[in-house]
């Protein structure tokens, strides 16, 4: 593990008091030490104050907007043995990929719902679904969407540069767990077993000129506080090195999947909310995403309280938006099955503005010119 991921002993937060939490909430330039305090047991009774601080900072930096996106799974081939995933190579899923004509139909069905931002997903690189396959998907998406992101296998810097050239603006790549031993045990086989190769992928994407990189941990795999503290260090390391690119953060929790994996470190909604509030307080200008993994009531409550970007109307199957028939069980089960219209109506009822487009590639390229 690189030195910059090490957790100093005095940042463990375990001995923090309520006064420390109050000081962290009042701090004008909070950092790693304050994050540890806000994630400590001493912060539990001050959740309300954390929520208020997170809401105020969210409004100051993002207004009342919630950006919307939707995921599109292009393929479910995978040679990896991630113990917690329904697409792992030992799961009895039918393996499929979308043909370019099917991708286009799916994308048209998604734009028909109003989306201007699309996240394209695949499993590990494979013969039918490698770099050229993903490039074809990015090119088709770039013709239809203002923001195209990918959540796929780690690539080399030249491969990321090709993705950017084809119209990809963002790369999402979660480390899943920063604990190297646990990482080794959970990733039973396949290229993903290489911890450092994955850890360095966001740097390669940023070095290749990608505009945004999404980081996250899969909550439930390891101690959530240590994971959150290391995620913070990773994000800060990237921000200080690649200051031209932006960071976004996600805190997905383990969901039921085809293999029946049981979380060794269950994270309840209260802890998830605290992690989101704490990150908003220490990283006030960083977008925080919340997906349809979470149940509707929780998502409704978190919208605008730290969270600034949400998926809606999602499918975790390959296809399934109306352009093609979904043929697999999906990577995991979603919790929020509301339609896009229902979700937007909820946001408006809460005084929030759903935003389908807050990015214009043509304008940004001209500005760079
Ligand atoms: S998490 Fe990703 S890499 Fe791992 S098995 Fe699932 S699809 Fe493959």
- Report the CATH number at residue 270: 3.20.20.70
Report pLDDT for 88.
92
* CB distance 80 to ligand 1 below 6 Å: yes
Structural domain includes residue 158: yes
Report pLDDT for 93.
82
Structural domain includes residue 214: yes
Residue 83, classed as helix, strand or coil, is coil
Q: Which residue's CA is minimally distant from atom 1 of ligand 1?
A: 85
Q: Check the CA dihedral 180-190-97-86 and report its sign.
A: negative
Report pLDDT for 290.
96
Report pLDDT for 310.
97
Among 151, 159, 153, 152, residue whose Cα is nearest residue 191: 153
Which atom of ligand 1 is nearest to 81's Cα?
5
Which atom of ligand 1 is nearest to 192's Cα?
3
Structural domain includes residue 248: yes
Domain that holds residue 107: 63-368
Structural domain includes residue 334: yes
* CB distance 179 to ligand 1 below 6 Å: no
* CB distance 154 to ligand 1 below 6 Å: no
Tokens of 236: 């800060």
Length of the chain measured in residues: 369
Structural domain includes residue 50: no
Structural domain includes residue 34: no
Which atom of ligand 1 is nearest to 190's Cα?
3
Among 98, 55, 65, 73, residue whose Cα is nearest residue 334: 73
Q: Which residue's CA is minimally distant from atom 2 of ligand 1?
A: 123
The alpha carbon of 338 and the centre of ligand 1 are apart by a number of angstroms equal to 26
DSSP-assigned letter for residue 43: G
Report pLDDT for 320.
86
Q: Which residue's CA is minimally distant from atom 4 of ligand 1?
A: 82
Question: What is the domain count for the chain?
Answer: 1
Name the pTM for this structure: 0.93
Structural domain includes residue 229: yes
Over its length of 369 residues, how does the chain's per-residue pLDDT go in tens digits?
A: 888 888 876 555 668 899 999 999 999 999 999 999 999 999 999 999 999 999 999 999 999 999 999 999 999 999 999 999 988 999 888 899 999 999 999 999 999 999 999 999 999 999 999 999 999 999 999 999 999 999 999 999 999 999 999 999 999 999 999 999 999 999 999 999 999 999 999 999 999 999 999 999 999 999 999 999 999 999 999 999 998 899 999 999 987 766 788 899 999 999 999 999 999 999 999 999 999 989 999 999 999 899 999 999 998 889 889 866 666 666 667 889 999 999 999 999 999 999 997 655 555 555 555
Structural domain includes residue 180: yes
């Amino acid at each position: 593990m690189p030195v910059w991921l090490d957790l100093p002993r005095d940042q463990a937060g375990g001995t923090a008091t309520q006064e420390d939490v109050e000081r962290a909430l009042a701090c004008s330039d909070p950092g790693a030490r304050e994050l540890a305090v806000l994630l400590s047991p001493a912060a539990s009774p001050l959740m309300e104050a954390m929520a208020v601080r997170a809401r105020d900072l969210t409004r100051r930096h993002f207004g009342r907007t919630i950006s919307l996106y939707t995921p599109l799974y292009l393929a479910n081939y995978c040679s990896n043995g991630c113990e917690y995933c329904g697409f792992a190579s030992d799961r009895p899923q039918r393996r499929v990929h979308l043909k370019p004509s099917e991708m286009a139909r799916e994308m048209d069905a998604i734009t028909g719902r109003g989306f201007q931002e699309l996240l394209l997903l695949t499993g590990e690189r494979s013969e039918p679904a490698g770099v050229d396959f993903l490039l074809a998907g990015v090119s088709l998406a770039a013709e239809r969407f203002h923001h195209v992101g990918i959540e796929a296998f780690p690539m080399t810097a030249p491969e990321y540069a090709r993705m950017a050239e084809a119209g990809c603006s963002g790369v999402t790549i979660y480390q899943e767990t920063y604990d190297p031993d646990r990482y080794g045990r959970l990733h039973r086989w396949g290229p993903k077993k290489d911890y450092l190769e994955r850890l360095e992928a966001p740097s390669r994407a940023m070095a290749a000129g990608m505009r945004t990189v999404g980081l996250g941990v899969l909550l439930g795999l390891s101690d959530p506080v240590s994971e959150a503290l290391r995620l913070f260090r990773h994000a800060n390391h990237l921000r200080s090195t690649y200051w031209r690119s932006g960071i976004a953060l996600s805190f997905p929790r383990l969901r039921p999947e085809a293999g029946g994996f049981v979380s060794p470190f269950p994270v309840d909604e209260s802890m998830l909310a605290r992690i989101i509030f704490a990150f908003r307080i220490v990283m006030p200008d960083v977008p925080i995403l919340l997906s349809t993994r979470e149940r509707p009531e929780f998502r409704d409550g978190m919208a605008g309280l730290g969270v600034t970007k949400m998926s809606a109307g999602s499918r975790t199957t390959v296809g399934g938006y109306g352009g093609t028939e979904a043929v697999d069980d999906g990577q995991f089960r979603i919790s929020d099955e509301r339609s896009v219209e229902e979700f937007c109506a909820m946001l408006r009822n809460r005084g929030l503005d759903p935003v389908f487009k807050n990015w214009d590639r043509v304008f940004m390229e001209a500005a760079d010119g």
